Amino acid sequence: MSDAVEALPIQIEQPAAHDVEQTVVKVLLAISFAHMLNDIIQSLIPATYPLLKDNYQLSYTQIGLITFSFQATASLLQPVVGMYTDKRPKPYSLAIGMGCTLVGLVLLSQADVLWEIMAAAALVGTGSSVFHPEASRMAHMAAGERHGFAQAVFQVGGNFGTSLGPLMAAWIVMPEGQHSLAWFALVALAGIFVLTRVGAWYHGRLKNRLISPGGRKSRYVTLPPRRVAAAIGVLIALVISKYIYLVSFTSYYALYLIDKFHVSKEQSQIYAFVFLFAVAAGTVAGGPLGDRFGRKVVIWFSILGVAPFSLALPHANLTGTVVLTVFIGMILASAFSAILVFAQELMPGRVGTVAGLFFGFAFGVSAIAAAALGAWADHTSLQYVFKMCAWLPLAGILAALLPKMEKA
């Protein structure tokens, strides 16, 4: 990765095609690597919930409020950041956002009351709100004609980082305690370094105008505004179903395993890693399959295809639960990059706005769902909540209403 980062600032007035492709690959890998570092830090927040719950005697509702403070901050700011940077790109804003994440992480390591934990989580969410829209734009600029592939590379870094969070919690945070979170400031510092170098490449790209920020539009049909609005509405509905179901795992899966199967905190984090690693693996396939077969097919399969496994999950034993979550994670993960690129094809030239809108909406849905599911679990049980959420993937049938975007 260090070789890739060193190559980022190179600027050539009229590069050969081979050099352009080499630079694109290195930039995509660097952005994906930075996404991994960013999401390792983000995933540490839910990964430490079993520890925080015991240390401070938190209810499920209070656990949900911590997730809400993190996700809501990111949700509100990301669309604003996306719309602003569509008009005024900020190449070095990513490094600044990672700096905000670093501050939130250090504060979280020292927090000892609920409001301090929530404030620290909100700072991490602020850093995320800066990172995702602009990083998605960079991936779009580096994509050429393979936008699905580029978004998949970008997303897989984040999903792989998310999967590492539970392992880091099991190996470092659980044995050493909450204060050990401060060591992960080194991860944030590495992210700042990488993103500064990526920002230099981005600055040079904008300055020399080698790539238009809006990308190419000729491969896709142009739809009337009313049909675009209807299609965006369908995509948002699919994002809602996907992320309510996903947040039940990212916020409560470890606690669900402890409650139902009485596994240890460390074991619960290993099982959470298995699920999140499956999510990362599924992301790799979603983008290229969308490039090959069309986004609509991938969106349809990646949400509706989860339903048989999700409906079986509440009735499975521990081994069956782990196996089913692998299939759920792999299939469900392929949806978001396909949804995001589909929306960018619906609204060409507004890459940052679309990325900010959908990342923000995903975070917002997760925030509200985390708080609501926690309160629901307090009034019923966590097992009942997982049983009811299992029906959400059936919403994937709405994908039939999406238009076909690719030209013949």
Give the sign of the dihedral formed by CA 244, CA 246, CA 251, CA 254: positive
> CB-based contacts of 353: which residues, under 8 Å, 6+ apart?
79, 82, 83, 86, 347
Tell me how many degrees the CA angle 397-330-215 measures, rounded to the nearest 5: 75
Per-residue confidence (pLDDT) for residue 406, from 0 to 100: 58
Positive or negative torsion for Cα 38, 40, 46, 49: negative
Query: How many CA atoms are closer than 13 Å to the CA of 155, on its beta-carbon side?
Result: 29
CA distance 336 to 26: 23
Domains of the chain (ranges, CATH numbers): 17-401 (1.20.1250.20)
Q: What is the pLDDT of residue 407?
A: 52
**What tens-digit pLDDT sequence spans the chain (408 residues)?**
434 444 444 333 334 444 444 446 788 889 989 989 988 988 888 888 888 888 898 888 888 888 888 877 777 777 777 777 777 777 788 888 899 999 999 999 998 889 999 999 999 988 888 887 788 778 777 776 677 777 778 877 887 887 788 888 888 888 888 899 999 999 999 999 999 998 888 887 777 654 444 444 445 567 788 888 899 899 989 988 988 999 899 889 999 999 999 999 888 888 988 998 888 788 776 666 666 777 788 888 888 889 999 999 999 999 999 999 999 998 888 777 778 778 878 887 777 677 777 877 777 787 788 888 988 999 999 999 999 999 999 998 988 888 876 554
Decide: 200 and 11 in contact? Cβ < 8 Å: no
Buried b (16+ CB within 10 A) or exposed e, 55-88: eeebebbbbbbbbbbbbbbbbbbbbebbbbbbee
3-state SS of the chain? CHHHHHCCCCCCCCCCHHHHHHHHHHHHHHHHHHHHHHHHHHHHHHHCHHHHHHHHCCCHHHHHHHHHHHHHHHHHHHHHHHHHHHHCCCCCHHHHHHHHHHHHHHHHHHCCCHHHHHHHHHHHHHHHHHHHHHHHHHHHHCCCCCHHHHHHHHHHHHHHHHHHHHHHHHHHHHHHCHHHHHHHHHHHHHHHHHHHHHHHHHHHHHHHCCCCCCCCCCCECCCCHHHHHHHHHHHHHHHHHHHHHHHHHHHHHHHHHHHHHCCCHHHHHHHHHHHHHHHHHHHHHHHHHHHHHCHHHHHHHHHHCCHHHHHHHHHCCHHHHHHHHHHHHHHHHHHHHHHHHHHHHHCCCCHHHHHHHHHHHHHHHHHHHHHHHHHHHHHCCHHHHHHHHCCHHHHHHHHHHCCCCECC
Distance of alpha carbon 34 from alpha carbon 43, whole angstroms: 14
CB neighbourhood size of 1 (10 A): 14
